[in-house]
Chain A
Amino acid sequence: MNQGCCIFAYDGDIAYGTQAVLAARLVKKYLNIPVTLITDEDTSKRVDHKIFDQVIISPTEDSANSRILSGQTIAFKNLNRNRIYDLTPYDRTLLIDSDFLVFSNRLKHYMDSNYDFMICENMKDLCPNRSGSVVSFSPASLHMLWATNIIFNKTPDNKILFDLVDHIRENWEWYGVLYQFDTRRFRNDYAFTVACHIMSGFGADQYYTALPSPLLFTDKDSLIKTSKKGLTWVTGDQNKLVKTQDQDIHMMNKTELLRKIDNFFNLYD
Chain B
Amino acid sequence: MDDRLIKALEHADYRQTLGIERQRLKDKAHAELIIGYCGGMFTVDRTLIGFVNSIKEYGSAVILDDNGYPVAIENLEDFQARVIGTYFEVTNRYLTDYNEIKQKRTAAKLVDL
Between-chain CB contacts (< 8 Å), 23 pairs:
A106-B34, A108-B36, A109-B34, A109-B35, A110-B36, A114-B39, A128-B23, A212-B31, A212-B34, A225-B113, A232-B113, A240-B17, A241-B20, A241-B107, A241-B113, A243-B21, A243-B24, A244-B24, A245-B28, A246-B28, A247-B24, A247-B27, A247-B28
Does B73 interact with chain A (Cβ within 8 Å)? no
Determine the distance from Cα of A88 to Cα of B113 in the docked complex, in whole angstroms: 42
CB contact under 8 A between A106 and B31, given known A241-B110, A241-B111, A243-B111: yes
Determine the distance from Cα of A115 to Cα of B65 in the docked complex, in whole angstroms: 12
A residues bordering B, Cβ < 8 Å? 104, 106, 108-110, 112-115, 124, 127-128, 209, 212-213, 224-225, 227, 229-230, 232-233, 240-247
Determine the distance from Cα of A224 to Cα of B107 in the docked complex, in whole angstroms: 14
Residues of A within 8 A of B36 (CB): 108-110, 112-113
Residues of A within 8 A of B2 (CB): none
Of the residues B20, B34, B40, contact of A240 by C-beta under 8 Å: B20
Determine the distance from Cα of A225 to Cα of B40 in the docked complex, in whole angstroms: 38
Does B112 interact with chain A (Cβ within 8 Å)? yes
Residues of A within 8 A of B40 (CB): 113-114
Of the residues B20, B32, B108, contact of A128 by C-beta under 8 Å: B20
Q: Which residue of A lies closest to B41 (CB)?
A: A113
Residues of B within 8 A of A246 (CB): 28
CB contact under 8 A between A242 and B111, given known A106-B34, A112-B36, A128-B19: yes
Does B99 interact with chain A (Cβ within 8 Å)? no
B residues 26-78 near A (Cβ < 8 Å) are 27-28, 31-32, 34-36, 39-41, 67
Q: What secondary structure prevails in chain B residues at the interface with A?
A: helix
Does B16 interact with chain A (Cβ within 8 Å)? yes
Residues of A within 8 A of B35 (CB): 109
Determine the distance from Cα of A106 to Cα of B41 in the docked complex, in whole angstroms: 11
Residues of B within 8 A of A209 (CB): 41, 67
Determine the distance from Cα of A244 to Cα of B21 in the docked complex, in whole angstroms: 8
Quote the shortest CB–CB distance from B36 to chain A (angstroms).
Answer: 4
10 extra A-B contacts, CB within 8 A, seeds A230-B112, A241-B108: A108-B36, A110-B36, A110-B41, A113-B39, A114-B39, A128-B19, A128-B20, A212-B31, A212-B34, A241-B110
CB contact under 8 A between A243 and B41, given known A112-B36, A124-B27: no
Residues of A within 8 A of B34 (CB): 106, 109, 212
Quote the shortest CB–CB distance from B112 to chain A (angstroms).
Answer: 6
Of the residues A128, A233, A243, A247, contact of B110 by C-beta under 8 Å: A243
Q: Which residue of B lies closest to A124 (CB)?
A: B27
CB contact under 8 A between A240 and B31, given known A109-B41, A230-B112: no
Residues of A within 8 A of B32 (CB): 104, 106
B residues 96-113 near A (Cβ < 8 Å) are 107-108, 110-113
